[in-house]
Structure 1
Amino acid sequence: MIRITKYWIGVASLDHVRSGVAGGFSQLCHGKEAPLKRMKPGDWLGYYSPKQALNTDEKCQRFTAIGRVKGSEIYPFAMSETFVPYRKDIDFFPDAKQVPLHAISQLEAWQKYRSSLRYGHFEIDKDFFLVLAKRMGLPMKYES
């Protein structure tokens, strides 16, 4: 059975995205397992960061990272005795350029997704992903 590649957006503050990129993992929706289960090996994930840091109001409003799901394993990671979020390994493109939301917000392709940002994780179509990937500087071809 051939599996179709899916394309996703995760929403997280820039400080959290940077931690994930540095560690090669995704942690979505405050550490919930369910969004990670939806992503399969070979899928693509782009991150949008509305804020600079979780506990501030300082805006970021940029697409800040992009990468490919490496494996199917979802694992708990104890950040403290009381907070054990779930993670999934991602192969991030380390030289991705940040793309301001206003640079793509006028695109028709984005209009159907803008209200989805509040969900923290959602699927996008390949065409919009390719626009985003190109603007973020990904040098590779994308195959389903």
Structure 2
Amino acid sequence: MTYWINTVSRDHVARGVAGGFTQANHGKPHMLRKMVRGDWIIFYSPRTTFPDGPPLQAFTAIGQVSDDEPYQAEVAPDFRPWRRAMDFQACEEAPIRPLIDHLDFVEDKKRWGYRFRFGVFAIDQHDFEVIRSAMSPP
């Protein structure tokens, strides 16, 4: 099992939660093909809306991959993004700033946002648990 972060604006995360899917890197399949059924994904939203919404800087959803292969969806005739089916968990948004000092994947605490520029990346179980705990409903 692998734990992932997927960097996605909050409005796009909400669409995925409502539809039971995730996309990555603007609909490209590469990172989605690395995921397997049962992998966990935590969604980090730098902004409320794509592309220029107000800054948010929070973890906004958490879920588990529930299919065996990526699939293509037809959103428009010229846009067929790759997706993975997801089972999303009940959670609350969690701002990242209080967690930065506790996250091992943030190597440079002053430049903590650097890792999120890659869109999707793997994290270890410790970091997953830190974030999941912060997102757990009371």
Fold-level similarity (TM above 0.5)? yes
Question: Which residue of the other structure, out of 88, 91, 99, is the alignment partner of 1:92?
Answer: 88
Structure 1 residue 50 displacement after superposition: 0.3
Map of 1:17 onto structure 2: 13
Map of 1:78 onto structure 2: 74
Structure 1 residue 101 displacement after superposition: 1.1
Structure 1 residue 138 displacement after superposition: 7.0
Structure 1 residue 108 displacement after superposition: 4.8
Counterpart Cα distance in 1 of 2:137 and 2:43: 14
Kindly provide the amino acid, as one letter, of the partner of residue 122 in structure 2.
E
Give the 3-state SS of the residue equivalent to 2:69 in structure 1: strand
Once the two structures are overlaid, the 10-residue window that deviates more, 64-73 or 102-111, is: 102-111
Structure 2 alignment gaps of length 5 or more: none
Counterpart Cα distance in 2 of 1:68 and 1:53: 23
Structure 1 alignment gaps of length 5 or more: 140-144
CA, structure 1 residues 108+40, in 2 after alignment: closer, same or farther (shift >3 Å)? closer
Question: Which residue of the other structure, out of 61, 67, 70, is the alignment partner of 2:57?
Answer: 61
Kindly provide the amino acid, as one letter, of the partner of residue 135 in structure 1.
A
Structure 1 residue 40 displacement after superposition: 0.5
1:104-141: CA deviation from partner (whole Å, max 9, x where unpaired): 112252423842100000000011101111111179xx
TM-score, with normalisation over the residues of structure 1? Answer: 0.87
1:67-95: CA deviation from partner (whole Å, max 9, x where unpaired): 111111211111111111000001000x2
Report the RMSD for the aligned CA atoms in angstroms: 1.7
Structure 1 residue 21 displacement after superposition: 0.6
Q: How does 1:94-133 map to 2 (within 5 A)?
A: 95-112=90-107, 114=112, 115-133=114-132
CA contact under 8 A between 2:103 and 2:130: conserved in structure 1? no
Give the 3-state SS of the residue equivalent to 1:130 in structure 2: helix
**Count of aligned residue pairs for this structure pair:** 134
Kindly provide the amino acid, as one letter, of the partner of residue 63 in structure 2.
G
Structure 1 residue 57 displacement after superposition: 3.8
Kindly provide the amino acid, as one letter, of the partner of residue 35 in structure 1.
M
TM-score, with normalisation over the residues of structure 2? Answer: 0.91
Kindly provide the amino acid, as one letter, of the partner of residue 23 in structure 1.
G
Counterpart Cα distance in 1 of 2:7 and 2:34: 15
Q: Is residue 47 of structure 2 the alignment partner of residue 48 of structure 1?
A: no
Structure 1 residue 18 displacement after superposition: 0.4
